[in-house]
Structure formats: structure tokens, C-alpha cells
Amino acid sequence: MILSSALIVIGATIPDHINQNDTQQSATRGKKIYEEYCLSCHQADGSGVPRLNPPLKKTSYVLGPQDKLIKILLNGLEEEIEINGEYYSNPMPAFGSVLNDQQIADVLTYVRSNFGNKASAVPVSKVKEVRAAK
Ligand code: HEC
């Protein structure tokens, strides 16, 4: 936790106009968060565990609308979902009180730009918006 806060402070010193750089910094912080909070279930390469934990590779959730994806992280998910012909129904824990807005933006930016995914970065403003609307 102390480590991630320190990284956020470093990130905040990068000028806003260097967008590409911002995205890279966010994904780098997100990788650490992923390793701490997500890897045990979704695995280092995002391939998940068949029938237990779904993959994060090019799924409609990962690549789809950002607000839906953010909500899964904030509130968790507990419904039967189907990904590539496999069904998953174990609960996904809620991270709304574990991770702050910046950490959620960072980990989702990491996931959306790794494991073969090429989707846009998730801005912290979007996480704030979704959290406020909930
Ligand atoms: C305890 C195991 C566990 C942990 C830890 C966990 N997840 Fe999940 N995740 C699941 C399960 C199980 C589901 C499916 C939930 C369902 O079927 O309702 C899921 C679903 C998802 C989905 C939507 C389905 C998909 O595969 O696209 C996303 C996105 C996701 N998790 C991201 C994350 C991220 C990012 C983290 C870390 C912050 C994380 N998860 C941590 C178990 C976990």
C-alpha cells in the first residue's frame, strides 16, 4: 500500500500533456496492483482458471464500455457469465473499498493494454464519475 501511494506521487509529477507517457505510467503502476490483487485468480498472463476464474483476454467485459468494467471492480460480480464457451459463477470480490480511484484506473489501464488487449486507457476522472453515480 505504501509502495503504491509512493508510485502515485511519482506519477503525479509527470506533466499532463504527455498523454502517451501518462498511459504508460498508469499501466506500470497498474501491473503492481494487478500482481497484488488480481493475479492469484486471473493469473499472470490473464488466462484465468477454466471454470473457476474467467480470462481477461479480449473479453467483452475488458474491451467493452468502461463504466460497466469499472462497476465490476467497484461492486464485484456474482452472476453466471459465459466466456469463450466456458461458464463462470464464482463470485468476483468487490474492490470499491480496497482500491482508490487512481488504483482502479491504473489496474484497468494495465489490463486493457496487456494480455493481447489493445483498448484505451481508463482515466481516473471516469472512475470518480462511476463511483459517484452508484
Ligand atoms: C478471488 C478471485 C478473484 C480476484 C482476486 C479477482 N477476480 Fe476478477 N473475477 C473473478 C471471478 C470468479 C469472476 C466471474 C464472476 C461471475 O461469474 O459473476 C471475475 C470476473 C472479472 C471480470 C469480468 C469477466 C471477464 O473475465 O472479463 C473482470 C474484468 C475482472 N474479474 C477483473 C479483475 C481485476 C482487475 C481484479 C483485481 C483488481 C480481479 N478481477 C480480482 C475472480 C477474481
> Residue 119: pLDDT above 90?
yes
Which of 29, 41, 66, 102 has most ligand 1 atoms within 8 Å of CB, for mutation?
41
Q: How far is the CA of 41 from the centre of ligand 1 (A)?
A: 7
pLDDT in tens, 53-112: 999 999 999 999 999 999 999 999 999 999 989 999 999 999 999 999 999 999 999 999
- Give the distance, in angstroms, between the CA of residue 28 and the centroid of all CA atoms in the same chain: 12
Return the residue whose CA atom lies nearest to atom 37 of ligand 1: 38
What pLDDT does 107 receive? 98
Give the cell for residue 99.
Answer: 482500491
Dist CA 114 CA 111 (whole Å):
5
Around ligand 1, the residues with Cβ closer than 6 Å are 37-38, 40-42, 53-56, 59, 61-62, 69, 72-73, 77-79, 81, 83, 88-90, 92-93, 95, 107, 111
- 3-state class of 87 per DSSP? strand
What pLDDT does 19 receive? 78
Strands 81-83 and 86-88: antiparallel
Assigned fold of 2-133 = Cytochrome Bc1 Complex; Chain D, domain 2 (1.10.760)
Give percent of the chain above pLDDT 90. Answer: 83
- 3-state class of 49 per DSSP? strand
- 3-state class of 88 per DSSP? strand
Dist CA 124 CA 102 (whole Å):
5
